[in-house]
């Protein structure tokens, strides 16, 4: 009996020892996984970032586009740069575009309200003008307690060109590329808000006609403007309600020139013209028309500027004069500038030390979008803007190589309004939403440049394949077509 008891105890001890060894070999139990949770505070697609109280939404899109008769760029179109030469070497008849963006929207509740950051980054390029993709961020901003800091859109903007068309006819809209702002928006209730914003200056050329060939070069004149000293100041009062929305807005912009002299650099000893402040005022409206068809609406905006032309025509920017050649005999031509002055004497160039003269420009944009079905829509849109100069500015233009008979340009005497011009467009876009996230569409636009120089002759200097030649200045027009295939990537 004693032997049996010893055997049982020994066996039990062995079993315990083996069991202990096996238990030691088992993996340690992992902590419970912290699963991603849906965040319903800010709408569909938001999730809590694990371990935080921050909600994030990840999205983006991929897009392919195909252009006909747009020139080298799907953005600036036929009248821009060498695209307007219309010859066998410059200005592609067919362009392809690839674009892909990823977006990151994060929001968090704080004692000061919702803290939001938004980033939209991606690549975009047109072929053949650009052979490799360019990386950029057209949105990168922070918002809290009514403040907006970073790259968003200008608070001057109201009319949205991309909402009703794939093209960007001349308007104040900065939406596609984004714009740097530092703004505060106050909400008054009932959909009424007011914003004051310090923004990246919308600079255009300031022309010193004493610089040789300052106006004669088509399409890029020479600019002679002051450095950036302060931001544009923008103010807007807006109302958003069920019937639609409306806004009135204004902006102040530095349109001052550089130094007097016959070169762009000038010299401090020459002195400089007095500073000149440009301005812009505008008004916009959107009216929903569900009584025609659910989703239908009308939008419009009107702008008036002096010395702040990019509040009428934001795209394209910089040293740009719209021009379009028509064969070997004629050319259409217009001048973009914020202001003009003369700062010295030179052979064949008139004017000495004049004050800065602000360029006047006004414009209107309008569009209507109609839904045939929830998946099929068509929009009709148009724009018109006009550029004009006072008599002093006109006399300065007449003293340059594009305006003086003694300096090989326009035949006929200089007269008031001689260098005024306008550009108008009309277009239509149709879009089929195959699914809620995937659509295909077609857009066609007609552009017409009208010049007060029409019928005069001018010796136009050589530009690439276009030789120096005497040409007739005439109104010009172009028709451009565009196909888009677009897929939104959403959670």
Closest CA to 38 of 58, 14, 55: 55
Average pLDDT over residues 61-80: 84
- 125-148 pLDDT, tens digit per residue, is 888 765 556 788 999 999 999 999
Residue 349: the pLDDT is: 42
Task: Check: CB of residue 189 under 8 Å from CB of residue 222.
Answer: no
Task: Check: CB of residue 279 under 8 Å from CB of residue 232.
Answer: no
Residue 348: the pLDDT is: 39
Give the structural domain span for 431.
Answer: 54-489
| The residue to which tokens 């200056």 are assigned | 201
Residue 224: the pLDDT is: 82
- 104-130 pLDDT, tens digit per residue, is 999 999 999 999 999 999 998 888 765
Residue 130: the pLDDT is: 58
CATH of the domain at 387: 2.40.160.10
Residue 22 lies in a domain: no
Residue 42 lies in a domain: no
Residue 4 lies in a domain: no
Average pLDDT over residues 351-357: 76
Mean pLDDT of the chain: 83
Average pLDDT over residues 371-382: 97
Residue 170: the pLDDT is: 86
Residue 389: the pLDDT is: 92
Q: Which residue has the higher pLDDT, 24 or 206?
A: 206
- 379-417 pLDDT, tens digit per residue, is 999 999 999 999 888 888 776 645 443 333 445 567 778
Chain-centre distance for alpha carbon 111:
35
Task: Check: CB of residue 393 under 8 Å from CB of residue 355.
Answer: no
SS3 category, 314? coil
Residue 15: the pLDDT is: 40
User: For the sheet containing 469-473, what is the strand order?
Assistant: 323-326, 330-333, 469-473, 457-460
Residue 346 lies in a domain: yes
Q: Other C-beta atoms within 10 Å of 434: how many?
A: 11
Residue 453 lies in a domain: yes
Residue 9: the pLDDT is: 43
Residue 184 lies in a domain: yes
Residue 377 lies in a domain: yes
Residue 159: the pLDDT is: 97
SS3 category, 70? coil
What total number of domains does the chain contain? 1
Angle at 321 between CA 86 and CA 158, to 5 degrees: 110
- 161-220 pLDDT, tens digit per residue, is 999 999 878 899 998 889 999 999 999 999 999 999 999 999 988 888 777 654 445 555
Residue 321: the pLDDT is: 72
Task: Check: CB of residue 174 under 8 Å from CB of residue 154.
Answer: yes
Q: Which residue has the higher pLDDT, 393 or 367?
A: 367
Residue 12 lies in a domain: no
Q: Which residues contact 85 (CB under 8 A, 6 or more apart)?
A: 91, 325, 463, 464, 465, 466
Residue 408: the pLDDT is: 36
Cis before residue 11, ω within 30 degrees of 0?
no
């Amino acid at each position: 009996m004693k032997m049996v008891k010893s055997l049982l105890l020994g066996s039990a001890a062995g079993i315990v020892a083996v069991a202990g060894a096996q238990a030691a070999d088992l993996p340690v139990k992992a902590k419970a996984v912290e699963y991603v949770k849906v965040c319903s505070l800010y709408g569909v697609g938001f999730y809590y970032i694990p371990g935080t109280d921050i909600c994030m939404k990840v999205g983006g899109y991929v897009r392919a586009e195909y252009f006909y008769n747009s020139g080298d760029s799907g953005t600036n179109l036929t009248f821009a740069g060498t695209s307007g030469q219309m010859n066998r070497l410059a200005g592609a008849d067919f362009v392809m575009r690839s674009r892909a963006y990823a977006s990151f929207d994060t929001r968090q509740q704080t004692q000061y309200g919702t803290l939001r950051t938004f980033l939209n980054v991606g690549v975009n390029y047109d072929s053949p003008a650009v052979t490799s993709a360019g990386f950029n961020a057209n949105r990168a901003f922070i918002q809290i307690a009514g403040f907006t800091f970073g790259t968003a859109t200008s608070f001057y903007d109201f009319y949205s060109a991309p909402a009703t068309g794939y093209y960007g006819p001349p308007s104040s809209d900065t939406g596609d590329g984004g714009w740097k702002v530092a703004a505060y928006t106050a909400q008054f209730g009932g959909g009424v808000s007011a914003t004051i914003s310090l923004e990246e200056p919308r600079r255009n050329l300031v022309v010193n006609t004493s610089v040789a060939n300052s106006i004669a070069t088509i399409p890029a004149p020479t600019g002679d403007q002051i450095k950036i000293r302060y931001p544009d100041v923008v103010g807007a009062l807006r109302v958003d309600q069920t019937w639609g929305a409306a806004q009135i807005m204004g902006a102040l912009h530095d349109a001052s020139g550089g130094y007097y002299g016959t070169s762009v650099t000038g010299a401090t000893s020459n002195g400089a013209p007095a500073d000149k402040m440009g301005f812009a005022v505008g008004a916009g409206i959107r009216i929903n028309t569900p009584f025609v068809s659910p989703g239908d609406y009308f939008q419009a905006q009107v702008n008036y500027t002096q010395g702040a032309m990019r509040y009428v025509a934001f795209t394209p920017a910089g040293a740009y004069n719209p021009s379009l050649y028509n064969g070997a005999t004629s050319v259409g031509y217009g001048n973009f500038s914020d202001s003009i002055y003369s700062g010295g004497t030179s052979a064949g160039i008139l004017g000495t030390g004049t004050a800065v003269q602000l360029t006047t420009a006004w414009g209107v944009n309008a569009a209507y979008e109609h839904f045939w079905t929830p998946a099929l829509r068509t929009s009709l849109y148009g724009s018109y803007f006009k550029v004009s100069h006072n008599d002093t500015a006109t006399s300065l233009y007449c003293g340059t190589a594009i305006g003086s008979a003694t300096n090989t340009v326009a035949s006929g005497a200089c007269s008031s309004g001689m260098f005024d011009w306008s550009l108008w467009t009309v277009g239509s876009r149709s879009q089929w939403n195959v699914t809620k996230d995937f659509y295909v569409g077609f857009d066609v636009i007609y552009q017409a440049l009208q010049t007060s120089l029409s019928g005069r002759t001018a010796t136009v200097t050589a530009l690439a394949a276009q030789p120096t030649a005497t040409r007739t200045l005439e109104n010009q027009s172009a028709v451009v077509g565009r196909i888009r295939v677009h897929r939104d990537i959403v959670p």
